[in-house]
Amino acid sequence: MEIAGIKISHPDKIIFPDLGLTKGEMVEYYEKISEYMLPHLKNRPLTLLRFPDGIEAEGFHQKNVFDYFPDFISRVEVPTESGNKMQFYCDSLESLIYFANQGTVSFHTWLARQDRLNEPDKVVFDLDPPDNGDFEEVKESAQLIKKYLRKKGKKPQLMTTGKTGLHIWYPAQRVKTFDERRDVIKSMALELEEMYPELLTTEVRIENRENKIFLDYLRNAYGQTSVCPYSLRSNASAGVATPLEWSELSAIDSADHYTYQNIFRRLGQK
């Protein structure tokens, strides 16, 4: 098996046991989704979530390039607390298929692009419901946050994460650093928590969240990542992070409404 010039190893290996979904099928998924996904990946440093032995085995995160990565993988030097690291991004079908063949199930991207690492072009509010949380409350929270952001003149967008939560994000001009945006973003999150105290919490410590939805505004910082649109997720249903129109939200009953199995039906009809 060969896709985009990449020789696919062990195409019959099972990656998602509950669905019987194989590595070959996963790679084909990323080939088919590439026209939708690549624009979101382009120029954004990445964290790969790799499960070479399937999602029920131990996986690992990867953010630094391995020596054996081929030359066509685009590199970017990233300053960190512990020194400069050579990281990478995905800007072609070839690299997307290469990463998938490496056992990558999920792609998590920066909110800033490779050429200006400290100036985000997106602001994200990540809604993380508690274990056994009610998805209807996540939907309600998303609508309330949408209304709040619109009142502030923003253009909030919606995405299912493919697991249990939703993302609400809006585009930003690359004129401020993460640090320069932090105070405003944090005060919006705190105000939302104050407006809807039954629904939302910004408590970092789980034991203080009282089973409310964690309004995770902390993604909006240097070096942090969140799941990329159209990435598969490492859950049994092979959920897909799916951008939605706001009008579609009422008809959705879970964050993994769209999956490997039905995402192309949706994209076909759009």
Partner DNA sequence: GCTCTTA
Partner DNA sequence: TAAGAGCAACGCCGC
Partner DNA sequence: GCGGCG
Return residues touching Mn ion (CB under 5 A): 126, 128, 165, 216
Task: Establish if 23 lies at the interface with DNA (CB under 7 A).
Answer: yes
Surface-to-core class of residue 84, CB atoms within 10 Å of its CB (0-12 exposed, 13-18 middle, 19+ buried): exposed
* Distance in angstroms (rounded) separating the CA atoms of residues 45 and 41: 8
Backbone angles phi, psi at 104, to 5 degrees: -75, 120
SS3 state of residue 71: coil
- Only one residue has tokens 């920066």, namely 110
- Residue from 5, 17, 35, 60 binding DNA (CB under 7 A): 60
- Residue 125 binds what, of Mn ion, DNA, none (CB under 5 to 8 Å, by partner type)? none
Dig out the tokens for 260 from the structure. Answer: 């490997």
CB 52 within 8 A of CB 102: yes
Query: Quick one: 128 or 137, whose CB is closer to Mn ion?
Result: 128
What single string gives the DSSP state of each residue in 52-111?
Answer: TT-TTS--EEE-SPPTTS-TTSEEEEEEETTEEEEEEE--SHHHHHHHHHTTEEEEEEES
Query: Quick one: 80 or 261, whose CB is closer to DNA?
Result: 80
* Distance in angstroms (rounded) separating the CA atoms of residues 257 and 270: 16
Task: Establish if 9 lies at the interface with DNA (CB under 7 A).
Answer: yes
Task: Establish if 40 lies at the interface with DNA (CB under 7 A).
Answer: no
Task: Establish if 72 lies at the interface with DNA (CB under 7 A).
Answer: no
Residues in the chain: 270
Task: Establish if 242 lies at the interface with DNA (CB under 7 A).
Answer: no
- Residue from 18, 53, 134, 210 binding DNA (CB under 7 A): 53
Task: Establish if 119 lies at the interface with DNA (CB under 7 A).
Answer: no
* Distance in angstroms (rounded) separating the CA atoms of residues 10 and 24: 7
Nearest approach in angstroms of CB 49 to DNA is 9
- Residue from 178, 196, 230, 258 binding DNA (CB under 7 A): 178
- Residue from 35, 77, 179, 194 binding DNA (CB under 7 A): 179
- Residue 24 binds what, of Mn ion, DNA, none (CB under 5 to 8 Å, by partner type)? none
Residue 166's H or E segment, with its range, is strand 166-171
- Site residues for DNA, 143-172, by CB under 7 A, read none
- Residue from 32, 61, 116, 265 binding DNA (CB under 7 A): 61
* Distance in angstroms (rounded) separating the CA atoms of residues 179 and 176: 8
- Only one residue has tokens 């505004």, namely 217
Contact residues for DNA, defined by CB under 7 A: 9-10, 13, 23, 47, 50, 52-53, 58, 60-64, 66-68, 80-82, 85, 101-103, 126, 128, 178-179, 182, 186, 202, 204-207, 214, 216, 218-219, 221-224
